[in-house]
Amino acid sequence: MSQYKNLEENIKKCRACHLRGTCANIVPGEGNPAAEIMFIGEAPGAEEDKQGRPFVGAAGKFLNQMLEVIHLRREDVFIGNVLKCRPPGNRDPMPEEVAACWPWLLEQIKTIKPKLIVLLGRHAMERFLPNQKISQIHGTAVRRELPGVGKQVFYALYHPAAALYQGSLREVLIKDFKKIPKVLEAIAKEKNAPIDTPEKNMENMETEDENRFEEPARNASPARSAASAVGWRSDSGRENKQEALF
Ligand code: URA
C-alpha cells in the first residue's frame, strides 16, 4: 500500500474527537498524493459528509470551475480540509477539534510535500498564518517555517463559499486564483535561481514590499520578477513579522 493510502486508511479510523460521533463519514481529502498544489479548506459540509469527499457541494463546484480556468483538474491537485469530520450544522470548528485533527493534516503535508499550500478561507488561514486578516493577506504568497516540514509557501484566498454568498468577493477570489500559476512559477524560479540561494532571494523580495505590485526593475532577477508579479511576503517581512507558528 502506498504511503498516502496507508495514511488515508488511518485517518478513516480516527476517533480523536467527538465529531466522529455526529458525522456520517470521515473526509480525509482527495486528489494527487504527489500534487504540487494542496488546497486546504475548513471542514466538510453536508454534501461532503454524505459522500465522504471534499468540496463536492456548491463551493466545490465553484472551486472546480476556478481550477478549470487555470487548466487544472481536481485530479492534478490535492484537496483537503483542516477538519476531517463535519461539525454539526456546519458550525465553526472548535479549537480542540482543530487540535485533535492537526496531526493528520501535518502528516498529509509531510507525505504530499506540496510546493504550494492554498488556504481557502479564514479558518484554514488562521491555522497556518495566525493573527492575519484574510481581507489583507488574500492573494499574497507567504513563505514561513512549518515545524516538522520546513519552509513552506502559503497562499491564502477567500473561501469559495464566502464568495458565493457575497458577490463582491467573487471577482476578488477569481483574480487571486488566476495568480496561482504565477506563484508556482515564482517558487520554481526561486529554486533554480543560479546565483543567490533561495533564502537570499526571499530576503531581497521582502525589502521591496512597498513595490511588490510594480513593474520589476530592468536588472531584476527572473525569480524576483515572478515574485513581484504575485506579491510575496516572507517570515521576517515588515507586515508579516511573527514568531514561530506553533
Ligand atoms: N467547505 C470546506 O471548507 N470544505 C469542504 O470540503 C466543503 C466546503
For the cut 60, the answer to whether the pLDDT of residue 64 exceeds it is yes
Ligand 1 pocket, residue 80 CB under 6 Å: no
Tell how far the Cα of 201 is from the centroid of ligand 1, in angstroms: 35
Q: What is the mean pLDDT of residues 22-44?
A: 98
Give whole-number Cα distances, 57 to 53, 89, 149, 167, in Å.
Answer: 10, 15, 31, 18
Ligand 1 pocket, residue 48 CB under 6 Å: yes
Percent with pLDDT over 90 in the chain: 76
Tell how far the Cα of 81 is from the centroid of ligand 1, in angstroms: 7
Tell how far the Cα of 162 is from the centroid of ligand 1, in angstroms: 11
Span between the terminal Cα atoms of the chain, in Å: 32
Q: Which position has the higher pLDDT, 164 or 211? A: 164
For the cut 80, the answer to whether the pLDDT of residue 199 exceeds it is no
| 231 confidence band (pLDDT: 50, 70, 90) | low
Average pLDDT of the residues of the chain: 84
Measured from the CA of 48, which atom of ligand 1 is nearest?
A: 6
For the cut 60, the answer to whether the pLDDT of residue 68 exceeds it is yes
| 192 confidence band (pLDDT: 50, 70, 90) | confident
Burial of residue 56 (CB within 10 Å: 0-12, 13-18, 19+) is: buried
Tell how far the Cα of 221 is from the centroid of ligand 1, in angstroms: 38
Burial of residue 68 (CB within 10 Å: 0-12, 13-18, 19+) is: exposed
Name all domains of the chain by residue range, CATH numbers in brackets: 3-177 (3.40.470.10)
Report pLDDT digits (tens) over 77-127: 999 999 999 999 999 999 999 999 999 999 999 999 999 999 999 999 999
Q: Which position has the higher pLDDT, 200 or 224? A: 224
Strand partners, 26: none
Q: How far apart are CA 152 and CA 143, in angstroms?
A: 5
Ligand 1 pocket, residue 45 CB under 6 Å: yes
pTM: 0.83
DSSP codes, 157-172: E--HHHHHH-HHHHHH
Query: What's the distance, CA 118 to chain centroid?
Result: 2
Q: What is the mean pLDDT of residues 161-167?
A: 95
CA dihedral 191, 196, 199, 205 (to 10 degrees): -100
Burial of residue 238 (CB within 10 Å: 0-12, 13-18, 19+) is: exposed
For the cut 70, the answer to whether the pLDDT of residue 220 exceeds it is no
DSSP codes, 80-95: EES-SSPPGGGPPPPH
